[in-house]
Amino acid sequence: MGNSKLSTVIKKGAEANLYLAEWHDRKVIIKKRLPKKYRPPRLDEQIRTYRTVHEPQLIHGAKQAGVPTPLVYQVNVKEATIIMEFIEGKQVKELLNGQSEKERKHVCTAIGRAIGRLHKNGIIHGDLTTSNMILDPEERIVFVDFGLGEKTDDLEAKAVDLHLMKRALQSTHYRVAQDCFNAVMDGYSSIIGLGDTREVLGKIEEIESRGRYVADRKT
Amino acid sequence: MRKTRIDKGRGYCLGIESTADDFGMGVSTPKGEILANIRNTYVPTEGGIHPRDAARHHADVAANVLEETFTKSCVKPQDLSTIAFSQGPGLGPCLRTGATVARALASYLNIPLVGVNHCIAHIEIGKLKTGAEDPITLYVSGGNTMVTAFDAGRYRVFGETLDIALGNCLDVFAREAGLRQKPGLPFGAVVEALAAKGHRLVSLPYCVKGMDISLSGLLTAAVNLLKQGKYALGDLCYSLQETTFSMVTEITERALAHTGKKQVLLTGGVAANKRLQSMIKSISEEHDARFCAVPSEFAIDNGAMIAWTGVLAHDCGMTTPVEKSSVKPRWRLEKVEVRWVTQNSQP
């Protein structure tokens, strides 16, 4: 990993471990996708390589779309490691439940705008949860963890992306989930436009109706 | 926990399970001792479960299963204090058969009826049998595939399938491959045995979306490969298992990392699969969590889990009046207020 000093594990995720380190006098995050013992080695390598290659591309694409993301400094495909900028700030997950209604609405609308920009540029985040969004000291919402993302203009993919956002709100912020999601969609439509937003919302409904045991499923 | 007054009987609960192909009855004492767990499974002559045929099967065997339950448990009808039944989710006709039996028994014995959510019952019996207090649960069966955990009064769904259930995926593939299931040897076991002979990993779509997964595209791809005839069936079964199990394991690990819980409970029909068990065990160890595999008799659909959950619900004063006892085929588990679990069991 070059001149980096591996210091502390800051997150032992399911998909990768995150280390906080110093690299050329910069505070960086080293994201390392460790082999998973439970998967067959070939499948494991495929998954880790694919995600290591694609994540920086999507991070870059997001930046071009006007969505703040960490700077990527170095990618090592063989080691399945990405060195990127450490983002100061707080996870939206930690903030949301303690915020006032107004603050919450403000943050969620900004999230929605960012998602709108991503989708407008054919970028699907793939894991829109509030732990993957960081409110930095400049009040920007920085999107991280594009490991499950993809590049596509497919309506279905956009709808699934937003469906996951909604689900994440429901499981982690259940008391305010609906208000939050409405604000997200407000922000989203301000970028995408009302017509396209309506189309995406229709698709979300369709996806949800495919789910198991949905009370209002039409059969 | 405040005990509700028991008007009749000795606090025993009879549970009736009939969400899909299994018709089961079980008896639980107020402390969760399972005195009987009797099951009779409908095995279709061809194709998948036909809801009406399955319901007819359940109606045919109900009286015998009931008699066997009383014999096995040495419990007399007058010892019972509640009748619990699987109110959903599941196949409408099958659920209605179980509900009808439950209503008849409750009204004949003049004791309360308790409608139980099937998915919650799987978690509760799993906790009872493994000693898990506050687990992440991976519940994988023919009809369900979900990752859930308790938070603020309810079981929350962290991840689930966006289309078909894992057991369903394996079953359909097995049927397409011309395999046969027998009583006591479900498709899952047949696929597992064949997979043990395979070793070549054939590439199949790996589809994890956040904490959710999608299996229908993978199934189509696997069936197409099967029809091409280029691959050994063992290799395809192996690849199907490895790929789908890796997907559910990944989302379970995500939920585990996200919530920091210290136990992982594996339950449902597919939980009997040794390979899946080893994968879930691996991630549990990785996160210093205890792996809790539910004994097979209590992991598949069974009446005991309904009886035990009936006891828990009744203890909290939750009963279901007959006029509210119609079945709920699409009853999601997060709709249920789980009063018997207290948040202080959190780590």
**Is residue A217 included in any domain, yes or no?**
no
pLDDT in tens, A14-30: 889 999 999 999 999 99
Residue A4 has pLDDT above 70, yes or no: no
The average pLDDT across A124-152 equals: 95
Where does chain B have alpha helices with state H?
A: 51-73, 92-109, 118-130, 166-176, 187-195, 216-228, 233-259, 274-286, 296-299, 303-315
Q: Does A212 touch chain B (CB under 8 A)?
A: yes
Closest approach of chain B CAs to the CA of A78, in angstroms?
A: 21
User: What pLDDT is attached to residue B346?
Assistant: 40
Count other C-beta atoms under 10 Å from residue B297's C-beta: 15
CA distances from A52 to A58, A67, A77, A78, B67 (A): 11, 20, 6, 9, 60
pLDDT in tens, B270-326: 999 999 999 999 999 999 999 999 999 999 999 999 999 999 999 999 999 999 999
Contact (CB<8Å) B209/A148: yes
pLDDT in tens, B48-68: 899 999 999 999 999 999 999
- Candidates A36, A43, A170; nearest CB to B201: A43
Residue B180 has pLDDT above 70, yes or no: yes
Q: Are A61 and A16 found together in one domain?
A: yes
Q: Which of A41, A59, A85 lies at the terminal end of a domain, its last residue?
A: A85
pLDDT in tens, B5-18: 667 888 999 999 99
Q: Are A36 and A121 found together in one domain?
A: no
Contact (CB<8Å) B206/A43: yes
User: What pLDDT is attached to residue A18?
Assistant: 94
- A contact test, residue of B246, B266, B287 with most A CBs within 10 A: B246
Q: Are A94 and A183 found together in one domain?
A: yes
Q: 3-class DSSP state for residue A196?
A: helix
Q: Does the bond joining B89 to the residue before it have cis omega, within 30 degrees of 0?
A: yes
pLDDT in tens, B70-113: 999 999 999 999 999 999 999 999 999 999 999 999 999 999 99
pLDDT in tens, B210-228: 889 999 999 999 999 999 9
Residue B1 has pLDDT above 60, yes or no: no
Identify the residue with better confidence: B6 or B231. B231
Count other C-beta atoms under 10 Å from residue B46's C-beta: 7
Residues linked to residue B182 through DSSP beta bridges, in sequence order? B185
Closest to A146 in 3D by CA, of A19, A16, A39, A22: A16
Range of the domain at A191: 90-210
What average pLDDT is seen over chain B?
94
Closest approach of chain B CAs to the CA of A37, in angstroms?
A: 7
**Is residue A218 included in any domain, yes or no?**
no
User: What pLDDT is attached to residue A218?
Assistant: 39
The whole-model pTM stands at: 0.91
For each of the domains in chain B, give its residue range(s) and CATH number, in order of start.
12-123+300-345 (3.30.420.40), 133-298 (3.30.420.40)
DSSP code for A164: H
pLDDT in tens, A165-181: 998 898 788 889 999 99
* Nearest-angstrom CA–CA distance, A134 and B229: 50
User: What pLDDT is attached to residue B3?
Assistant: 55
Would you say B304 and B38 are in contact if contact means Cβ atoms under 8 Å apart?
A: no
Q: Which residues of B touch A154 (CB under 8 A)?
A: none
Contact (CB<8Å) A39/B246: yes
* Band of pLDDT at residue B345, cut at 50, 70 and 90: very low
Q: Are A79 and A110 found together in one domain?
A: no
User: What pLDDT is attached to residue A14?
Assistant: 83
Contact (CB<8Å) A38/B162: no
* Dihedral pair phi/psi, residue B246, rounded to 5°: -60, -40
Closest to B300 in 3D by CA, of B88, B111, B174, B144: B144
